[in-house]
Amino acid sequence: MKAFVLYAVLGGVVIPSPSTAAGKSASASVCHVIRDARELIGERVQVDGYVQDLGSHGFVLTGMRRNCAGILVLQIQALASNRSWWKAFGDSVGPKRATLVGTVRWVKPRYDNGRNPALKVERVLYLSSEEANPKDF
């Protein structure tokens, strides 16, 4: 049985409908979301990047250093009971490859004025507990 997939395109970012299965073509890079955050505020997106645990400062999603500068703050309240999320970060340190679905928002930085783009995470489509090459970050 074939599944039909519906997409909405906004500013070059493919935003999957709720019935969309995870797929590489359906994801935006974290660099794209950081760069175009102003146009994506309030939109639901599927984002590929690397999750980093900053300890007491929370979690962020980044791209590799050679691809872009900047971070996407992760609001992970919906992941409090997600065992795979906590297991990935409990077993090892370093960035983890991830595909996340959520809504883009602005957040106030902890130690600065202004605002940063953030992703209010709704679902984890993919999370690799393998570590990325540290020299890329």
If one counts the domains in the chain, the total is: 1
- The mean pLDDT of 102-131, rounded to a whole number, is 87
Q: How many helices (H) and strands (E) does the chain have?
A: 3, 8
Mean per-residue pLDDT of the chain: 77
* Exposure string over 41-70, b if 16+ CB within 10 A, otherwise e: eebbbbbbbbbbbeeeeebbbbbbeeebee
Domain of 124, in residue numbers: 7-136
Do the domain assignments include residue 46? yes
Q: Which two tokens stand for residue 133?
A: 């090459």
Confidence at residue 26, expressed as pLDDT on a 0 to 100 scale: 67
Between 99 and 65, the higher pLDDT residue: 99
The 10 Å Cβ neighbour count of residue 24 is: 7
pLDDT above 70 covers what percent of the chain?
78
pLDDT (tens digit per residue) in 11-56: 334 344 443 444 344 689 999 999 999 999 999 999 999 998 888 7
Do the domain assignments include residue 1? no
Do the domain assignments include residue 2? no
Confidence at residue 44, expressed as pLDDT on a 0 to 100 scale: 96
CATH number of residue 132's parent domain: 2.40.50.140
5 pLDDT band, cuts 50/70/90, is very low
Confidence at residue 87, expressed as pLDDT on a 0 to 100 scale: 82
Q: Does pLDDT of 70 surpass 70?
A: yes
